[in-house]
Amino acid sequence: MNDSVSNSSNTNLLARAQKVLPGGVNSNVRLAVRDRFIVRGSGPRVWDLEGNEYIDYLLGQGPNFLGHANPEILSAVNAAMQDGMLFGAQNPLEVEAAERVLDAIQWAEQLRFNVTGTEAAQAALRIARAHTGKGKYIRFQGHYHGWLDNVLTSTKLGFGSPISLGQPMSALSGCLVLPWNDLDAVSKAINADPDIAAIITEPMMVNSGAIVPDTGFLEGLREICTEEKIVLIFDEVITGFRLSRGGAAQRFGVSPDLATYGKAIAGGFPVAAIAGSEKLLHKVGTGEINHSGTFNGYAIGSAATIAAMKILGRPNIYANLETLGTTLMEGMNGLAVKHGAPLHIQGLPMAFHLSFGSDEKIRNYEDLVKQNEASYKRFVAVIRESNIWITDRGIWYLSMAHTQEDVKETLERFDNALSKMNFEL
């Protein structure tokens, strides 16, 4: 076996991958790009096995919010590594990391660290069930809360239904799927079923469509949950530290009872967290509600979190990102007009969604699926050949590492890609 990846052709490496990894990948999210091997990232750019350079708007599905191989993150991690990684006891770094995260989000009193957002979502639902003594939860169509059996569900409205072989129907018996941005549907569901322990929601529907909540929707959820003694959970795995330093809760001015964080929290390192009030988390601390994990609060992840929180606390960085993302979105719209492309763009400057089709506002998943998905997938293939790295789901992420020059170059490549498309939809 040739140990040098740089000397392996893309085709040979794909064959090797498919021999030892099911489908050639370690996450099914990457099945669509199983033939692409990225060997290096720096700032807002990545390089593939063949040496092609891409401007990156996928950011590893979101975690690289500070850019690839951020030197301050790497320096902090390298320093922490010299003293070890796991001790079977507490480490000062995890305490400081928790203090800095709580200082950033402001609304919560305590948190527990995890490694993945999926784990954090499971912990949040468990805490909600323990706190209320109830068993079911409400979630929304098109949202994502991890890949485990009790949260991975189809987009059909009503009781959750499996989408994977081996996923038992019984695991979703406590899951109710409702349309996003519809307070009437939420009220009706709660009135019909007294066993609702929690409402879990992406506070901005970034996983599908970059859909901002309607005015009053999050406020309405907060009011309903308070009145009905239901635990309101914000899944901020994507939105946390991205939409603002305090995440979606700060940006939209609504505080949940519990929230989960991940992706941007540690500058690309695998760290997640669940945050909430001391009252809700108290029984986690007594051991009555089990929350465990060998790597929870591990030293290098905590060091990365501390470094990330320091960077994200600097003046004007979010304002600069807003300006940069707005420039990119407006430039894309202008180029779409130039080429007669039926481009629909919506979201926020740091996380927005592109599709082709109707330009009417997309408010929920049902609106989103009316767009021409096939046309956008064709465009993704073209724009990758123009050396822009994106996902075919339509989401574009900006990082703190992107610059005006990157945006200018992106628009030039975007222009080139649009010129190669036929938009007779």
**Phi/psi of residue 344, each to 5°?**
-115, 125
Paired strand residues for 139: 177
| Burial zone of 242 (CB within 10 Å; 0-12 exposed, 13-18 middle, 19+ buried) | buried
222's CB contacts (< 8 A; 6+ apart) are 232, 254, 255, 256
Tokens of 221: 């959820």
Could you give the CA distance from residue 368 to residue 82 in angstroms, rounded to a whole number?
A: 48
Q: Exposure string (b/e) for 9-30, b if CB count within 10 Å is 16 or more?
A: eeeebbeebeeeeeebeeeeee
Q: What are the CA-CA distances from residue 226 to residues 9, 126, 204, 255 (Å)?
A: 58, 19, 20, 11
User: Annotated catalytic residue: which of 263, 298, 318, 365?
Assistant: 263
Q: What angle (nearest 5°) sits at the alpha carbon of residue 407, between those of residues 405 and 413?
A: 105
Task: Let me know if 263 is a catalytic residue.
Answer: yes
**Cα dihedral sign, 380-386-391-395:** negative
Give backbone dihedrals phi and psi of 68, rounded to 5 degrees, phi first: -75, 140
**From 235, 257, 367, 406, active-site residue:** 235
Question: Is 144 assigned a catalytic role?
Answer: yes
Active-site option among 57, 137, 144, 318: 144
Q: Angle at the Cα of 122 (from 119 to 124), degrees rounded to 5?
A: 110
Q: Estimate to the nearest angstrom the gap between the alpha carbon of 95 and the chain centroid.
A: 25
Q: 286: Cβ–Cβ under 8 A, 6 or more apart, which residues? A: none
Torsional sign, CA 225, 142, 259, 161: positive
Catalytic residue set: 144, 235, 263
